[in-house]
Amino acid sequence: MATDTHNALAAQLAKDAAERFLRYVRIDTQSEEDSETYPSTAKQLDLLRLLAQELKELGLADAAIDEHGYVTATVTSTVSYDTPTIAFFAHADTAREVTGANVNPQRFRYGGGDIPLGGSGSVIRPAVSPELANHVGHELITTDGTTLLGADDKAGIAEIMAAVAYLVAHPDVPHGTIKVAFNPDEEVGRGVIHFPVETFGAVAAYTVDGSTAGEVQSETFSGAQVRMKIHGRAIHPGWAKGELVNAIKLAAAIVEKLPQDRLSPETTEEREGYVHPVLVAGDSSEVDLRFIVRDFEDDQLDANVEYLRGIAQEVAATDDRASIEVESFIQYRNMRDALMKHPEIVEHLDEAVRRIGLEPRRTAIRGGTDGSALTEMGLPTPNIFTGGHDAHSEREWICVEDMGLAAATVVELARKWAEQP
């Protein structure tokens, strides 16, 4: 169990993190996959510029935002000997599935049972979100049911900021040089594509972008995207007999060929991968159909991409007047193998979680983080919990006490890395 000192630290940090979080979520930072700019939406810069300013106000003299929207800053070492430089990352953007505009957060102490979300008709039910059962009596923050909350990943930002504020205010806490980085566009798979890893100066990093308190994550899905451009044959519908080839019906035929009882997010769990249609756009003459493909093993990921190519070929072959172009690309790779070469990075995180009074629980992420890309770029980056749940939905919620535990984990990691062997 946590000591009284650690409980007090987590409580102090929870207060600061929650106050920051409630400010940050009111800023709309939704990213856009089809944008050709970077960041993909200018509104992400509203939060990123605010964060750069807040870091400067904390006394981090080098706090800055660059031309890509990356916010970086350095917390100066408080020890006289050399220690490895570590970093903490979190992303500013929110997902496309649900609007992030006009977020109206609701903060309350949870007494159990269903949680109605304002007058929206949406309800968070313990039967669907079982982690709620562990939070009776805790403070929660939800939406009003009309937007997402943005805990993914504004909670991570708030927790890092609270930890940094604490370390700056307590120079007696021993720690080495700590880097902080906030970035746009994680949700569209481009969060760190321009990040200057080689000049950043960290030997290890941690994303604060997880979920349940105590989780330690050093493995993610590998991810790919498949895009199909379906070309039909257009003609006025009044004279269409024997002439029209409807691209929308071809897209429907592709989706219909997907298995009903496996290989989808709604039918898989744990280490099972999936293919998932995420966008359909177009008209009867041409349709853009997109999938995301996920698996923990790269060979199975490749097999699932080829499976989709095969379905496209089958459907295209039903009418020689139709054609389907298929392209695929890797979005990120499982960070597992690279992190296994640096076991101390995850072991230090395990120890930090123990120091805040929790038993670390190693889990694999059924998704990706910026850490997936950073690890592939040469900066090993496992993931820390935030306390948020049910991301990318109107039913998103977070526990304030868990926010304090996440921020305290950041502080304890800083201490751990400063300990001499």
Q: Report d(CA 348, CA 84) in Å as an integer.
A: 12
Give the CA distances from residue 241 to residues 145, 230, 380, in Å, rounded to whole numbers and listed in that order.
Answer: 47, 20, 59
- Which one is catalytic: 28, 153, 186, 370? 186
Helices (H) and strands (E) counted in the chain, each on its own, are: 10, 18
Q: Report d(CA 411, CA 142) in Å as an integer.
A: 26
Burial of residue 34, with CB atoms counted within 10 A of its CB: 0-12 exposed, 13-18 middle, 19 or more buried: exposed
- Which one is catalytic: 16, 28, 54, 93? 93
Q: Report d(CA 156, CA 92) in Å as an integer.
A: 9
Q: Report d(CA 407, CA 76) in Å as an integer.
A: 18
Q: What value, to the nearest 5°, has the Cα angle with vertex 201 and ends 195 and 204? A: 85
Q: Is residue 57 annotated as part of the catalytic site, yes or no?
A: no
Residue 275: how many other CB atoms lie within 10 Å: 22
Radius of gyration of the chain (CA): 23
Collapsing DSSP to helix, strand or coil, 319 comes out as: coil
DSSP 243-279: T-B-HHHHHHHHHHTS-SSSSSGGG--TT--EEEEEE
DSSP 204-255: EEEEE---STTEEEEEE-EEEEEEEEEE-B---GGG-TTT-B-HHHHHHHHH
**Cα 260 to the center of its chain, rounded Å:** 27
Q: Report d(CA 411, CA 14) in Å as an integer.
A: 13
Residue 61: how many other CB atoms lie within 10 Å: 10
Q: Is residue 186 annotated as part of the catalytic site, yes or no?
A: yes
Q: Report d(CA 371, CA 223) in Å as an integer.
A: 13
Residues contacting residue 4 through CB under 8 Å, at least 6 positions apart: none
DSSP 143-204: --SSS---HHHHHHHHHHHHHHHHHHH-TTS----EEEEEES-TTTT-TTTT--HHHH--SE
* Catalytic center residues: 93, 186
